[in-house]
Amino acid sequence: MSFNFILSAIVFLPVIGAVVIALLPRLHPKSVRFVALLFTLVAFALSLAVFYQFDRSLDAIGRMQFEEKVLWVPAINAHYHLGVDGLSLPMVILMTFLGVLAVLVSWRVELRPREYFAWLLFLETSILGVFCSLDLILFFLFWELELIPMYFLISIWGSGRKEYSAIKYVIYTLAGSAFMLAGILTLYFATGTLSIVELTGVLNVKPVIPLAAMFFLLFIGFAVKLPVFPLHTWLPDAHTDAPTAASVILAGALLKMGGYGMIRVCVSIFPGIALQYAQLMVALAVVNVLYGAGVTLRQKDLKRLIAYSSVSHMGYVLLGIFALSQVSLVGATLQMFSHGIVTGLLFAMVGLVYEKSHERNLDNLGGLARQMPVIAVVFTIAGLASLGLPGTSGFAAEFITFVGSFSSSAVKWIQIYTILGVFGVVLTAGYILWMLQRVFYGPPQEKFDGVPDADTVDKVCIFTFVVAIMLVGLYPAILTNVIRMGVEPLIILLGL
């Protein structure tokens, strides 16, 4: 069966590309990007094939598909175990999609391009590995691997206080991972298995430490990544100082590892604990949304503004997850996907504005709509998607999350939290429109005369984003029909 290895192929194609780039010293620096593009494109095409082949029938609910399982470390019963279900498949597609576009975004990287693209491809593999792993040790391995390429990408190709931000990012995440590893180990000692599939919903053995403690050990690791207030301060620094493609992947796919982990590990393995502490989580989610939006409104640096907006938008993911209803969990997963492409595009646009105008400070920008009309139009579309305009993926995701949360029966007072969260959309409109006005509107400035607009490669890249945003916005069922396959079993576990 040739199809048996399709997930491995998707996960490892990028890193094979990285090895090819690294091992072919004769390769012309300009050709490197074509090699990178080729490998990411094939990975993307394969993930679409998986999406196409994915069994959406009723009896496939709760079953992993395209599974691959090989015994890996017999001593601890660890397996090389990959598989996708309705939760992970959208994340895999998101990552392979962003992988292609990240290469296009980096088309004009001049500094050490071979290393750059090799790290970028390595990064893609590690994130894909997280989304496909069904064994906790394998999951953790990929989780940690991701730090290495990201560290180099930020500290070498970044800007501003890049060394500080890179180190901060690594240490912050490692601190979170330390808790997570402790959680994984306690789980292993309590049950003797590392398989996520086996652990899901059958945790009735007597644990070493209280279940809630295990839950929170794991949760902290994911909370750093999502990020959840007050563990979010690595994000603005890392996003702001990372090179554009790394910001795109950071905001687009990396944050989703946190949300995905919460659903896949915290909620799936500890449904009872999740229910018990849902109130706290939902409250934190509202803080994320409103506090994040408030801080965003104070930002003067264009890139930092977008970075903080992610904190706010990830609050909706947290809200949807811990509202613990079927619809809200679908909404949260869709919001992860939507935020991935919308914020991915926003960072790509910030990168373009900065690359062309060499300016990121909102006080010094203005009137650029005349000089860069295409960038202005696409930036506006991205902004509108971010503020949840109907017809874009942002609305579909937020709306489903809100409906699901509001009508959830799992959490007390959830209606009040949801309404507070809904108020976030007013603040979002505020900072997005304020930002667009500061960058593009007003009288054209002489200092920006002659700055170029988007070129052909840029256009291909950003228009692809726009098409994806509109597609999911106008017909969200294309994804929700898959996502609900993964959510349905959780609802049964939760007993709702």
Partner 1 sequence: MSSYVPWLIFLIPLGSFIVISLLLRPFFKQHPRVSGYVTICSIGISCLLSFWVLKEVIATPEHRIAIPDVQWLLIGNLNVHIGLIVDSLSAVMVVVVSLVSLLIQVYSQGYMHGDPGYHRYFAFMSLFTACMLGLVLADNLVFLFLFWEGVGLGSYLLIGFWFHRPSAANAAKKAFIVTRFGDFGFLAAILFLFYHTGTFDIEELHAIAIAGSLAGTVLTWAALGIFMGAVGKSAQFPLHVWLPDAMEGPTPVSALIHAATMVAAGVFLVARLFPLFEHSHVALTTVAVIGGFTAIFAASMGLVMTDIKRVLAYSTISQLGYMMLGLGTGGIALGIFHLFNHAFFKALLFLGAGSVNHATGTFDMREMGGLRRVMPWTYITFVVASLSLAGIWPLSGFWSKDEILASALEGNTVLFYLALVTVFMTAFYMFRAVFLTFHGEYRGGSSAGDGGHGGKPHESPAVMVVPMVILGILSVVSGWLNVTGAFDGFLGHATASGGHGFVQGLFGVLSHPLALVSLMVAGLGILLAYAMYDRRWISAETVGRMFRPVYTMLYRKYWFDELYERVIVVRFLVDGVFAVFARFDAQFIDGAVNGVASGVSSAGAAVRRAHTGQLQVYGITMAAGIIAIAVCFYLFS
Please name which of 46, 76, 50 lies closest in space to residue 64, comparing C-alpha atoms: 50
Query: Does 62 contact partner 1 by CB under 8 A?
Result: no
Phi, psi of 281 (to 5 degrees): -65, -40
Residue 106 beta carbon to partner 1: minimum distance, rounded to whole angstroms: 27
Rounded to an integer, what distance in angstroms lies between the CA atom of residue 289 and that of residue 450? 39
Residue 125 beta carbon to partner 1: minimum distance, rounded to whole angstroms: 29
Residue 153 beta carbon to partner 1: minimum distance, rounded to whole angstroms: 22
Nearer to partner 1, 46 or 306 (CB): 306
Positions in 287-326 near partner 1 (CB under 8 A): 291, 294-295, 297-299, 325-326
Query: Does 194 contact partner 1 by CB under 8 A?
Result: no
Taking the chain, what is the end-to-end CA distance rounded to the nearest angstrom? Answer: 39
Query: Does 361 contact partner 1 by CB under 8 A?
Result: no
Residue 28 beta carbon to partner 1: minimum distance, rounded to whole angstroms: 34
Burial bucket for residue 474 (CB in 10 Å: 0-12, 13-18, 19+):
middle
Stretch that binds partner 1, among 10-18, 246-254, 274-282, 391-399 (CB under 8 A): 391-399
Give the alpha-carbon dihedral of 21, 27, 30, 36, to 10 degrees.
-20
Alpha helices in 297-408 (DSSP H): 302-323, 326-357, 368-371, 373-386, 393-406
- Interface pick for partner 1 out of 429, 451, 466, 470 (rule CB under 8 A): 429
Query: Does 395 contact partner 1 by CB under 8 A?
Result: yes
Q: Quote the tokens at residue 13.
A: 């194609």
Query: Does 277 contact partner 1 by CB under 8 A?
Result: no
Residue 252 beta carbon to partner 1: minimum distance, rounded to whole angstroms: 23
Q: Which residue has the tokens 């603005």?
A: 236
Rounded to an integer, what distance in angstroms lies between the CA atom of residue 304 and that of residue 362? 11
Nearer to partner 1, 119 or 308 (CB): 308
Rounded to an integer, what distance in angstroms lies between the CA atom of residue 472 and that of residue 391? 8
Nearer to partner 1, 346 or 422 (CB): 422
Query: Does 327 contact partner 1 by CB under 8 A?
Result: yes
Q: By three-state DSSP, how is residue 431 classified?
A: helix
Please name which of 393, 366, 396, 397 lies closest in space to residue 382, comparing C-alpha atoms: 393
- Interface pick for partner 1 out of 74, 443, 450, 495 (rule CB under 8 A): 443
Please name which of 41, 43, 39, 12 lies closest in space to residue 24, comparing C-alpha atoms: 39
Query: Does 495 contact partner 1 by CB under 8 A?
Result: no
Q: By three-state DSSP, how is residue 306 classified?
A: helix
User: If you count them, how many residues does the chain have?
Assistant: 496
Rounded to an integer, what distance in angstroms lies between the CA atom of residue 80 and that of residue 129? 11
Residue 112 beta carbon to partner 1: minimum distance, rounded to whole angstroms: 29
Query: Does 53 contact partner 1 by CB under 8 A?
Result: no
Give the number of residues in contact with partner 1, rule: CB under 8 A.
56
Query: Does 151 contact partner 1 by CB under 8 A?
Result: no
Rounded to an integer, what distance in angstroms lies between the CA atom of residue 397 and that of residue 388? 8
- Interface pick for partner 1 out of 230, 358, 447, 467 (rule CB under 8 A): 230
User: Applying CB under 8 A, which residues contact partner 1?
Assistant: 168, 171-172, 230, 232-234, 291, 294-295, 297-299, 325-327, 330, 367, 369-370, 384, 389-391, 395, 399-400, 402-404, 406-407, 415, 418-419, 422-423, 425-426, 429-430, 433-434, 437, 440-444, 475-477, 480-481, 484, 491
